[in-house]
Amino acid sequence: MNDCDRTALFSNGNGFVALNSPVKIQILDFLKGCSRSFDEIVKHTGKAKSTVSVHLNDLRSSGLVEEECDQDDKRRKTYYLKCEHMAHSQPPILRHYKNVLETLGSPQLEKHGCFKCFFRAIQFGFDAHGINSDPIMRKIGRDIGISISSNFVSKDIKYLVQELAVFWKRYQMGTMYLAESEPLIIAVEKCFDYKLISTIGKNLCSFTEGIIEGTIVHSLNISCCVQEIECCGNGKDRCLFIVHFLNK
């Protein structure tokens, strides 16, 4: 993979189409404002007519563009969008995705841990290919939190955090502790793969948000929303999660 491997996600009304062709993405971007003639598209892309023709046919087959004949000149065709741009890859995440893939094939794999790299490869891979992984990672984390909460007995939030911290330590996920009581803030230091994520430049722990939230909701039967306010991915020394209780 190189930095030109950008992916954009489009909806054509029947589903989603992912594209990683720079020329196709360039054509669709050019058509955003209005319909364009074939010659205009050729001039804008700087590609040969035969090349543009192939790309336009592919885009038509995918249901992303449509062509129509000019009312004044039937030989002249124009093209317009039939899709909506939903998402696109982000160069910084592409770079980190590439780094994780390189780690998987290097002697550093044993140092970082195979499953840690697999986990981040999946997360970064979604983001690198234009799909925001945060909602699904959070949902899966919440489901896991509900499942593991059956191992906990505490009905007090402070003791429940202590139980969750023991679980965190036992499975080498980092060091968890209660940082503040009011508002309730939970800290995690040296999370299981903090060395992999220290230079990403964004919050990355939607999965942990979900686990904490699911554990609290199921164990204490109260509604809450967990939000990460500091992250190792942003260069912080620890990850901080504030718990908003919704029924207070």
Q: pLDDT for 105-134, tens place per residue?
A: 666 656 556 667 677 777 777 777 667 778
Co-location of 80 and 175 in the same domain:
no
Co-location of 83 and 94 in the same domain:
no
Co-location of 112 and 58 in the same domain:
no
159 secondary structure, DSSP code:
H
Sheet-wide strand order for 84-88: 16-19, 8-11, 84-88
Q: pLDDT for 220-229, tens place per residue?
A: 999 898 999 9
Question: What domain count does the chain have?
Answer: 3
- Looking at 88, 109, 124, the residue that finishes a domain is 88
- The answer to whether 112 and 196 are in contact (CB under 8 A) is yes
Co-location of 94 and 82 in the same domain:
no
- For residue 42, is pLDDT > 80? yes
> What pLDDT is stored for residue 112 in this prediction?
56
Partners of 18 in beta bridges: 9
Co-location of 123 and 154 in the same domain:
no
User: How far is 66 from 12, CA to CA, in rounded Å?
Assistant: 11
Q: What is the mean pLDDT of the chain?
A: 82
Co-location of 165 and 215 in the same domain:
yes
> What pLDDT is stored for residue 211 in this prediction?
93
The 10 Å CB-count burial string (b at 16+, else e) for 224-239 is bebebebbbbbeeebb
Q: Which two tokens stand for residue 72?
A: 């004044």
Range of the domain at 183: 134-245
> What pLDDT is stored for residue 2 in this prediction?
45
| CATH number for the domain that contains residue 66 | 1.10.10.10
- Looking at 30, 59, 88, the residue that finishes a domain is 88
Residues 6+ apart with CB under 8 A from 175: 165, 168, 169, 188, 189, 190
Q: Is residue 202 part of a domain?
A: yes
Mean pLDDT of 197-214: 83
149 secondary structure, DSSP code:
G
> What pLDDT is stored for residue 103 in this prediction?
67
- For residue 90, is pLDDT > 90? no
Co-location of 172 and 207 in the same domain:
yes
Pick the range with the lowest mean pLDDT from 19-23, 82-86, 238-242: 82-86
Q: Is residue 79 part of a domain?
A: yes
Q: Is residue 3 part of a domain?
A: no
Q: Is residue 155 part of a domain?
A: yes
How many CB atoms within 10 Å of residue 121?
18
